[in-house]
Amino acid sequence: MCGICGFYGFEDKQLLNRMTNCLKHRGDDDKGNFVSDKISLAHQRLSIIDLDRGKQPIHNENSSIHVICNGEIYNHKELRKELEGKGHKFYTDSDTEVIVHAYEEYGVDCLSKFNGMFAFAISDGGRLFIARDRLGIKPLYYYLKDKTFLFASEIKALLEFDIKRKVNIDSLFNYLTFRYTLEDSLIKGIRKLKPGHYAVIDQDGFKEYRFWDIKFSENYYLRPEEKFFNLFKDSVEKRLMSDVSLGAFVSGGIDSAAVVSQMGENVKTFTIGFENDPTNTLKDAKAVSEHFGTNHFELVEDNNILSILPRVIYHLDEPIVEPSILPGFKLAEFAKKHVTVALAGEGADEILYGYPHYKMLDFANNINKLTLGLVRIKPLPSIAKIIPENILNKMFHYPYPIGKEGKSRLSDFVSKLGNQNESYRELISLFSAKDNIINNHQNNNLDLVLDNFKYSNIQQNISHFEIKNWLPNHVLMRLDKITMAHGLEARVPFLDHRLVEYCASLPNELKLQGSNEKFILKKAMQGKLPEKIIKKRKSPFFTPITDWFDKDIRQIASSLVEKDIMTEFFNTQKIKKIIDNHNKSKLIYSRQLWALISFYVWHRLFIDNEKVKNLDNFL
């Protein structure tokens, strides 16, 4: 695990050094570079495999091809044997060296050979080749203008080049809808290489290609839970590959518990929780530890960690609307004191229909079918408005009251049930299109949802969209940035591409049976996990955001609402209304204000380029 950066079309050793220094937090064990008149590559290393000889860039036998990589190739030993059989000579035991020889042997088709998480760049004469893993576990940003091309693991490294710092308004609209940005970052001109894609940069310019995509079907297998378990077990075993200490994050839920169950003995586990947590995260995580006899480390936070938000946003590169980034950041910092690698349970919800909105859309879709031709859909929005809040909270396991605004949003969602992509966007949107929160701007990001909704089945459509968008741009981006801020590598066994492809081929009822989500995982873990964990109802990681709202967020938002940054981009009358009515829908309004405050902080850091010595006191 590391940070990578470089450029094509010019030579500038000082720029390359500045870019590399921006990535030092990702790994300060070593650094290296390759410089030619056309291509420059640089690598900031966190040593995981072949600690003594694995320094990058790594080259082929005659040093005509050089590679830098952020990530791991988990099947490198098998590939090494295959390549040695074809005559290739290795000079390290590093998994990265497999990339350069596989590229020599197979060209761009080498990508189909790799099982891993990676973002890498290869210099091949006057040709630059970059690639990102299938699911987008590792980030890779780039900037292209005329014939100048730069790339890096983080945006802050690209900004060492003379890039005009201007907000991409379309991306801001997407951020306030989906809670994250998509392929285009918040800074105009800086983009992400899409998951499962590679690009070639040479004298003919920049060309991007797809090498992998997820495809859904509904195949029926004999004892499917056995194949699921075997793929999962092998995935975990592959991700134990390490020459340094490793552990696992646990929350007490089935995803992280399943990972720990396959890690063997002498495992270190880490969890974080808050005082007065109604979801019992700390208690349940400790129960997992006791069941498997792990060496357990527990971090208990009070409610006063909001001050670290600017420091976290600095490391995120872009704001993400997820309050759990704060405890996640603290947990990674805490775990790094004991391990260098940590396994995590991310990805299970996306591939196994684990989120509440899968159940909600399925339930609503069935109601829509039943009422079609009878009462049609028109009376249902009114019904949604009169359902008592406590019933809605119980149905969808909201940790905070849904409130008046939440019920109104639910009503809008129901009214669009005849259109899958519109109903989905309405349900997951932070700000709906009718909010008009951005000054003088309209963006039909519904087209993006529509492009991903290509199946007749609504669950497959949601999963397809979230694997392609939510997963790499929110879940995995968050995990990478908050762990690598401390030089900690996170690995995600549920996102082995073989397991993802298998789950996509399963019928829906093996993933969601009524209100029972992740059904095949629960079936596969029978006898391997305590029944209490298997039967535990999914709940989001608890953060005391309503307490933060009452004590801090509302006050901060009030102090920022008339700032130039806010008046430039937003309808401040709408913001004032949210602040004034906050008690009516804390579930919705607290997150809306969180998003706006986060954007304000991000703008000062990345657009205004303020050099703040004490980020904790930035607000």
Strand partners for 198: 131, 209
Give Cβ neighbours of residue 504 (< 8 Å, ≥ 6 apart). Answer: 214, 215, 216, 217, 351, 463
Q: Length of the chain, please?
A: 619
Q: Which of 215, 214, 187, 295 is nearest to 250 (CA)?
A: 295
**Is residue 112 scored above 60 in pLDDT?**
yes
pLDDT confidence tier of residue 552, bands split at 50, 70 and 90 = confident
CA dist 481 → 56, 95, 490 (Å):
21, 22, 10
Element (H, E) at 95: helix 95-106
Strand partners for 200: 129, 207
> Distance between CA atoms of 239 and 235, rounded to whole angstroms?
6
At residue 208's C-alpha, the angle toward residues 203 and 212, to 5°, is 145
pLDDT confidence tier of residue 377, bands split at 50, 70 and 90 = very low
Mean of the per-residue pLDDT values for the chain? 87
CATH of 2-165+185-210, one of 3.10.20.30, 3.20.20.70, 3.60.20.10, 3.40.50.300: 3.60.20.10
CA dist 39 → 6, 70, 153, 233, 565 (Å):
7, 18, 17, 41, 38
Q: Got the DSSP string for 103-128?
A: HHHHGGGGGGG--EEEEEEEEETTEE
pLDDT confidence tier of residue 618, bands split at 50, 70 and 90 = low
> Distance between CA atoms of 192 and 54, rounded to whole angstroms?
27
**Is residue 366 scored above 70 in pLDDT?**
no
The predicted structure's pLDDT at residue 30:
76
CB 311 within 8 A of CB 616: yes
pTM exceeds cut of 0.75: yes
CB 412 within 8 A of CB 588: no
Q: Which of 116, 93, 78 is nearest to 491 (CA)?
A: 116
CB 24 within 8 A of CB 2: no
**Is residue 236 scored above 60 in pLDDT?**
yes
35-62 residue pLDDT tens: 998 999 999 977 776 666 778 899 999 9
> Distance between CA atoms of 537 and 614, rounded to whole angstroms?
41
The predicted structure's pLDDT at residue 370:
59
Catalytic, 2? Answer yes
For residues 522-542, give the mean pLDDT: 87
The predicted structure's pLDDT at residue 353:
94
240-270 residue pLDDT tens: 998 788 999 999 899 999 999 999 989 999 9
The answer to whether the Cα torsion of 81, 86, 87, 88 is positive or negative is negative
**Is residue 352 scored above 90 in pLDDT?**
yes
Exposure pattern of 216-238 as b/e (b: 16+ CB <10 Å)?
A: beeeeeeebbebbbebbbbbbeb
pLDDT confidence tier of residue 472, bands split at 50, 70 and 90 = very high
**Is residue 613 scored above 50 in pLDDT?**
yes
The predicted structure's pLDDT at residue 538:
73
Q: What ranges make up the beta strands (E) of 90-183?
A: 116-124, 127-132, 141-145, 148-152
Q: Return the higher-pLDDT residue of 300 and 497.
A: 497
Over pLDDT 70: what percentage of the chain?
85
Instruction: Read off the tokens for 371.
Output: 């009422």
**Is residue 374 scored above 60 in pLDDT?**
no
Cβ neighbours, 10 Å, residue 26: 27
Sheet with 190-192, strands from edge to edge, namely 30-35, 39-45, 2-8, 148-152, 141-145, 190-192
> How far is CA 74 from its chain centroid?
20
Helix pair 325-335, 309-316: axis angle to 10 deg = 80
Please compute, for residue 248, the number of CA atoms within 13 A of its CA located in the half-sphere on the CB side. Answer: 33
Q: Return the higher-pLDDT residue of 477 and 443.
A: 477
CATH of 214-377+417-540, one of 1.20.1740.10, 3.40.190.10, 3.40.50.720, 3.40.50.620: 3.40.50.620
> Distance between CA atoms of 120 and 133, rounded to whole angstroms?
9
CB 589 within 8 A of CB 578: yes
> Distance between CA atoms of 565 and 60, rounded to whole angstroms?
50
Cβ neighbours, 10 Å, residue 329: 24
At residue 228's C-alpha, the angle toward residues 223 and 232, to 5°, is 155
Domains 2-165+185-210 and 214-377+417-540 share a fold: no
Scan for tokens 């009214």, then name that residue.
415
Q: Of these residues, 2, 5, 69, 503, which one is catalytic?
A: 2
The predicted structure's pLDDT at residue 375:
46
Scan for tokens 């049976």, then name that residue.
513
Instruction: Read off the tokens for 447.
Output: 């087209």
CB 270 within 8 A of CB 256: no
The DSSP code for 570 is B
Domains in the chain: boundaries: 2-165+185-210, 214-377+417-540, 545-617
The predicted structure's pLDDT at residue 199:
98
Q: Return the higher-pLDDT residue of 192 and 432.
A: 192
Q: What are phi and psi of 242, to 5 degrees?
A: -170, 145
> How far is CA 261 from its chain centroid?
24
Strand partners for 129: 122, 200
CB 40 within 8 A of CB 152: no
Using a 10 angstrom Cβ sphere, with 0-12 exposed, 13-18 middle and 19 or more buried, the burial of residue 203 is: exposed
The answer to whether the Cα torsion of 525, 529, 535, 540 is positive or negative is negative
